[in-house]
Structure 1
Amino acid sequence: MTVNDDSFTHWKNREEIAESMIPIIGKLHRERDVTVLVHSRSLVNKSVVSILKTHRFARQIAGEELSVTETLPFLKALAALDLGPSQIDLGMLAATYKADDRGLSVEAFTAEAVAGATGANKIERGEGRDVVLYGFGRIGRLVARLLIEKSGSGNGLRLRAIVVRSGGEQDIVKRASLLRRDSIHGQFQGTITVDEASSTIFANGNAIKVIYANDPSEVDYTAYGVKNAILIDNTGKWRDREGLSKHLRPGVDKVVLTAPGKGDVPNIVHGVNHDTIKPDEQILSCASCTTNAIVPPLKAMDDEYGVQRGHVETVHSFTNDQNLLDNYHKSERRGRSAPLNMVITETGAASAVAKALPDLKARITGSSIRVPVPDVSIAILNLQLKREATREEVHDYLREVSLTSPLRRQIDFITAPDAVSSDFIGSRHASIVDAGALKVEGDNAILYLWYDNEFGYSCQVIRVVQHVSGVEYPTYPAPAV
């Protein structure tokens, strides 16, 4: 047999193993509310090739490829346990098992590692939580996709309604089409149908009522069967407590803003300060996409090295608040053509750091340039550290943070030497450390952080909503602190 034949046979064998994993993963998700991950990447509803690619990803981080032959025994062990709602990372299970020298069987080790999600310790499955989207623009539609994707078990977040202003004839048909097809993020994964008579969109079996209103005061959500809902405001029209309080109508219990909050509205970056949300807090903000991109790595660097001061320069994709061609705009530079120019503009991300990281004493400044790409941005974080470090030390530290720390869902890490912005479309992390671009000299470190300012940010919004709704399930094995 030739080398080529041997390689192809090996690939087919792995395909067969990955294929056998799919029904186990699906059953765990549907029947027990268990999400199976590999290095923080979900395997739920993934194809054979996607499962193999997800395993291969470990190669560029940990130095060697993770094989499905390694993870399948752990998956089978999980299927035999009395599991409750949870997220379980096969990559972490395999890695921690390799490092364990007690000689335990895979079954015994797995049972011990996920003991917090089994038997008397397991969380009981709830009825789910209603969610309402107020506004249906770029972020609103991506959040909708994520909510529909995560509704498989029927016991988590349930998208019940979308509130928009009427756009005229066939409004609901046009909005459903925008949900179905996206020029950047591709086709919706599933089926979408519309019932114009009842003003309802059906997406993968989810009945989503489209409510037409010009102001929050016009809506009684209980009239649509919505109760105790979390409303996600995607419009950004109201940013302070007084304005956002207008959403606290019958049927709505909490309001989450997908823009930086003003005044005393808490700005939450999941993974960093989401555990500071008070149980009775009804109004909160998910800050901005850039704040979510820079705060997790900033916290990681401050925890290990200390940060004396810093500056963030964001090179940001253009957005809908800019003009396609030169025209009047309340902001002078943003009135110039977005697809034809680099546009210097302001960013509030640096000042927002203080809200998310109140213990950080370092002064952080910031500025931004909008550039002619439709999605994915990069933040260049220039830090003066409290102690000297080497490039290799910081490189290895950030790689480990992305794999095993509590920030592993927020911070990703890539070593590909030819990485460019379009490679990160669809990334579910808040930011991705570009290892090749990292610069460290003495007490100065410069981090290049890619981020999908649409989809990655939307994933952070969903994580915050899951947390405040009580359906953010624990992850096993527990990340290193």
Structure 2
Amino acid sequence: MTVNDDSFTSWKNREEIAESMIPIIGKLHREQDVTVLVHSRSLVNKSVVSILKTHRFARQIAGEELSVTETLPFLQTLTTLDLGPSQIDIGMLAAEYKADSRGLTVEEFTAEAVAGATGANKIERRDGRDVVLYGFGRIGRLVARLLIEKAGSGNGLRLRAIVVRGGGEADLVKRASLLRRDSIHGQFQGTITVDEANSSIVANGNTIKVIYANDPSEVDYTAYGIENAILIDNTGKWRDREGLSKHLRPGIDKVVLTAPGKGDVPNIVHGVNHDTIKPDEQILSCASCTTNAIVPPLKAMDDEYGVLRGHVETVHSFTNDQNLLDNYHKADRRGRSAPLNMVITETGAASAVAKALPELKAPITGSSIRVPVPDVSIAILSLRLGRETTRDEVLEYLRDVSLHSPLKRQIDFTTAPDAVSMDFVGSRHASIVDAGATKVDGDNAILYLWYDNEFGYSCQVIRVVQHVSGVEYPTFPATAV
């Protein structure tokens, strides 16, 4: 047998193992609200090849490949345990088991590592929480996809309605089509049908009422059977407490804004300050995509090295706020053609850091350049540190943060020497540290942080909504603090 034959046989064996994992992962998710992860990446509803690619990607962050032959025993053990709602990272279980020297069996080690999700310790499954989307643009449709994806167990967030302004003939069909197909993020994973008689879109069995209104004051959500809902405003039309309070109509309990909030509206970056949300707070903001991209790495660097001052330069994909061709715009430069120009503009991300990370006293400045790409941006974070360090030390620290810290869902890490922006479309992290581009000279560090300013940000929004709704379940093995 040749070397090529050996490689192909190995691949077929791993395919067979990955195929056997799919029904186990699906049953755990549907019946016990358990989400199976590999290094913070969900395996729920993934194909055979996707499962294998997720395992292979571990080499980018953990330094060596992870095989399904290593993780399968842990997955099989999970089926024997009395698990409650949780997220369980079998990649981390395999890595920690390999480093453990006590001679435990896989079954013994797994039972100990996930003890907080079993027996008397487990969280009881909660009733689903209604969610309403106000607006259905780029972020609204991606948030809708995520909500539908996460509705599999029936005990989490339930997208009940979308509120939009009437768009004329075939409006419902056109909106369903935009949800079904996306030029950047691809096809919707599932089926979508239109129920025009009931003004509804049915996506993977989820009936989503489409409500037409020109103003929040026109809607009584209880008339549609919606109660105690979280409303996600992705229009950006209202940003202060007074404006967003218009959404607190019958049936709505909380309002989450997908843009930077003004005045006393809390700006939340999940992973950094979501624990500061007061239980009775009804209005909050998820800040901006760029704020979400830079605040977690800023916190990580400040925790370890201290940050004395910093500057962030964002090279940002163009947005719907710009013009396709030169035309009037209220901003000085944004009227020029977005697909044809690099456009210098302002960013509020630097000033928003103070709201999300008040303990950071260092002055942070910022500016932005819009460039002719439709998605994925990069933040270049230049920092003056509190002590001298080396490039290797910083990279090893950030790699460890991406694997083991409370920020591992926010910060990803790549060593790929040929990575470009399109490689990060669909990333669920707030930002990805590009190891190859990182520069360190004494007490000066420059971090290059990729981020999917549409999808990665939408994932952060969902995490905030899960937190305030009480359906954000703990992750095991537990993260070191």
The two structures share one fold, judged by TM-score above 0.5: yes
Q: Distance in 2 between matches of 1:361 and 1:126?
A: 40
Query: Aligned-pair distance for 1:310?
Result: 0.1
Name 1:76's counterpart in structure 2.
76
1:127-172 alpha-carbon deviations (Å, 9 max, x no partner)? 1100000000000000000000000000000000000000001101
Secondary structure of the 1:334 match is coil
Name 2:441's counterpart in structure 1.
441
TM-score by length of 1: 1.00
Q: Distance in 2 between matches of 1:91 and 1:257?
A: 34
Query: Aligned-pair distance for 1:218?
Result: 0.2
Query: Aligned-pair distance for 1:189?
Result: 0.3
1:21-51 alpha-carbon deviations (Å, 9 max, x no partner)? 0000000000000000000000000001100
Secondary structure of the 2:146 match is helix
Q: CA RMSD in A?
A: 0.5
1:322-370 alpha-carbon deviations (Å, 9 max, x no partner)? 0011111110200111011000000000000000000001000000000
Q: Distance in 2 between matches of 1:8 and 1:346?
A: 52
Q: Distance in 1 between matches of 2:422 and 2:58?
A: 20
Q: Distance in 2 between matches of 1:365 and 1:61?
A: 30
Q: Distance in 1 between matches of 2:281 and 2:270?
A: 16
Query: Aligned-pair distance for 1:84?
Result: 0.3
Secondary structure of the 1:443 match is strand
Q: Which runs of 5+ in 2 are unaligned?
A: none
Query: Aligned-pair distance for 1:126?
Result: 1.0
1:80-117 alpha-carbon deviations (Å, 9 max, x no partner)? 00000000000110111111111111001101110110
Q: Distance in 2 between matches of 1:396 and 1:320?
A: 38
Name 1:23's counterpart in structure 2.
23
Q: Distance in 2 between matches of 1:60 and 1:408?
A: 14
1:244-287 alpha-carbon deviations (Å, 9 max, x no partner)? 00000000000000000000000000000000000000000000
Secondary structure of the 1:446 match is strand
1:385-422 alpha-carbon deviations (Å, 9 max, x no partner)? 00000000001111111111110000000111110000
Query: Aligned-pair distance for 1:64?
Result: 1.1
Q: Distance in 2 between matches of 1:246 and 1:66?
A: 50
Query: Aligned-pair distance for 1:479?
Result: 1.1
Query: Aligned-pair distance for 1:62?
Result: 1.7
Q: Distance in 2 between matches of 1:359 and 1:152?
A: 39
Query: Aligned-pair distance for 1:446?
Result: 0.1
Q: Distance in 2 between matches of 1:471 and 1:300?
A: 26
Secondary structure of the 1:292 match is helix
Q: Distance in 1 between matches of 2:172 and 2:225?
A: 20
Query: Aligned-pair distance for 1:208?
Result: 0.1
Q: Distance in 2 between matches of 1:337 and 1:2?
A: 56
Query: Aligned-pair distance for 1:124?
Result: 0.6
Q: Distance in 1 between matches of 2:463 and 2:155?
A: 16
Q: Distance in 1 between matches of 2:453 and 2:287?
A: 12
Q: Distance in 1 between matches of 2:418 and 2:316?
A: 20
TM-score by length of 2: 1.00
Q: Distance in 2 between matches of 1:386 and 1:425?
A: 34
Name 1:326's counterpart in structure 2.
326
Q: Identity over the aligned pairs, expressed in percent?
A: 90
Query: Aligned-pair distance for 1:222?
Result: 0.3
Matched, 1:240 2:240: yes
Q: Distance in 2 between matches of 1:125 and 1:346?
A: 45
Q: Distance in 1 between matches of 2:392 and 2:6?
A: 37
Name 1:363's counterpart in structure 2.
363
Query: Aligned-pair distance for 1:60?
Result: 1.9
Secondary structure of the 2:197 match is coil
After TM superposition, the runs of 4+ consecutive aligned structure 1 residues lying more than 2 A away are none
Q: Distance in 2 between matches of 1:138 and 1:61?
A: 30
1:184-242 alpha-carbon deviations (Å, 9 max, x no partner)? 00000000000111100000000000000000000000000000000000000000000
Moved more, 384-393 or 99-108: 99-108
Secondary structure of the 2:457 match is helix
Moved more, 96-105 or 201-210: 96-105
Secondary structure of the 1:388 match is strand
Query: Aligned-pair distance for 1:480?
Result: 1.5
Q: Distance in 2 between matches of 1:260 and 1:61?
A: 31
Moved more, 88-97 or 129-138: 88-97
Secondary structure of the 2:400 match is helix
